[in-house]
Amino acid sequence: MSVCFNDRYLRDFVAPHELDYLAPQVRLAHDQLHGGSCVGNDFIGWVTLPADYDKEEYARIKAAAARIRQQSKILVVIGIGGSYLGARAAIEFLHGAFTTALADKAGETVVYFAGNNLSGSYLRDLLTLCEGKDFSVNVISKSGTTTEPALAFRIFRELLEKKYGKERARSRIYCTTDRAKGPLKSLADREGYETFVVPDDIGGRYSVLSAVGLLPIAVAGADLDALMAGAAEMMEATRDPDLAHNPAYRYAAYRHLLGMKGKQVELLACHEPAFQLMAEWYKQLFGESEGKDHKGLFPASVIFSTDLHSMGQFIQEGSRLLFETVVDIGDDGASVPIGEDPENVDGLNFLAGRDYAFVSRKALEGTLLAHVSGGVPCGVIEIPDRSERSLGGLIYFFEKACAISGALLGVNPYNQPGVESYKRNMFALLGKPGYESLRGELEAKLAD
């Protein structure tokens, strides 16, 4: 199994009988999810996705990725939330914190992301990076109406048409959207852009293993077959309804019990900087799935040892409101040996002949023991490496855990009603027709 959940450092905080009491609820949540009768059952297509995906489209994704790699130095991926985070996270996980600089150095297609914010300077800088380079665009929006990606797509489409002419620009625009409806689908059909589908029964944050994530991930040079195989393996491994044997359910159960004991924050920690965006993806997955009905753990993240020098103090001795989930990634074989310094100025010659991986391992172990002794419950998710297979497994592991955790909490883990509030206010303040009375109300508040 590519993902294991180690509860060794949780046992002082949660007793076996507490897990035993929860086991029947976990089994019920499992049965409802697998039987299709759970709350939000319109959006559980991700459960079988690693085996049950459109093979024809999958082949088209690979072909499109090869074409993009051949025709463009840059792929601009336009999308927000679930329509971008997974792809970005996966690419950085697989290729490391310097992924764009390394791809550029190797003369490979660099993947940049747009439409995930409303910063003019971000967009201007990205446009500068595209100057003089061949580029393509993959716009991803299930609804086709989300403001941030729609605005960015306007700009990049115009740029492509100016650079290549309307006709040639067509072959550089790839749309990932609803199968049949929405403004993006209509535009793509009218203009003849190649389209890929965000499946009806899969919400944004569970969609990374669909075309939403797969096209950008493939353009970045990843092995999609291994990614899907890793996810399929985890799908099988988490089919067991028994809490004692299902690592995703064990993780979900512990986080639920820790929440019941008053913990308010889950801190996802990793000692690998390449994991930073995966932590962002996890935050969206759990935050958007569970943060509703005035319930849910607040998902936060840290990268160690970096953040031990900023958040370490709080974790060790601050308010006891959090527990930690450490993602422990096995040695990736990137050996960086430590040399001998004849003067031993830094006093670190006791490490001479050792490798960075050794230092990192000891830092992980030492930090775990320190945090546990400081009263922080620590669960450990273990994966062997940063391969596609492990990544596929980890994605599925988190999705499955999130579904069961949401069910234990009694929320619908597939909707996000709260996201609409800011949109309504923004549209009103921007003067969108139909929002006139709200606009007046909000402007009066702002003037107060």
Residues binding ligand PA5 (CB under 6 A): 80-83, 141-143, 146, 149, 203-205, 288, 416
Q: How far is the CB of 419 from ligand PA5 (least distance, A)?
A: 6
CA distances from 227 to 188, 223, 347, 368, 392 (A): 28, 6, 43, 29, 5
Among 234, 257, 259, 260, CA closest to 247: 234
In sequence order, the 6+-apart residues with CB closer than 8 A to the CB of 297 are: 255, 258, 259, 263, 264, 265, 266, 286, 290
Among 232, 327, 281, CA closest to 86: 281
Both structure tokens of 51: 């085996």
423 is catalytic: yes
Q: How far is the CB of 146 from ligand PA5 (least distance, A)?
A: 3
Nearer to ligand PA5, 247 or 299 (CB): 299
Nearer to ligand PA5, 110 or 175 (CB): 175
- Catalytic hit among 272, 288, 388, 399: 288
Among 23, 113, 104, 48, CA closest to 76: 113
Nearer to ligand PA5, 142 or 386 (CB): 142
- Catalytic hit among 17, 294, 309, 445: 309
β-pairing, 265-270 vs 298-303, is parallel
CA pair distance 99, 311, nearest whole angstrom? 26
CA pair distance 138, 224, nearest whole angstrom? 17
- Catalytic hit among 423, 436, 441, 443: 423
Q: How far is the CB of 147 from ligand PA5 (least distance, A)?
A: 9
CA distances from 372 to 80, 365, 376 (A): 36, 11, 5
Nearer to ligand PA5, 97 or 151 (CB): 151
SS3 at position 337: strand
Q: How far is the CB of 443 from ligand PA5 (least distance, A)?
A: 26
SS3 at position 326: strand
Nearer to ligand PA5, 82 or 247 (CB): 82
Nearer to ligand PA5, 143 or 276 (CB): 143
Task: Give catalytic residue positions.
Answer: 288, 309, 423
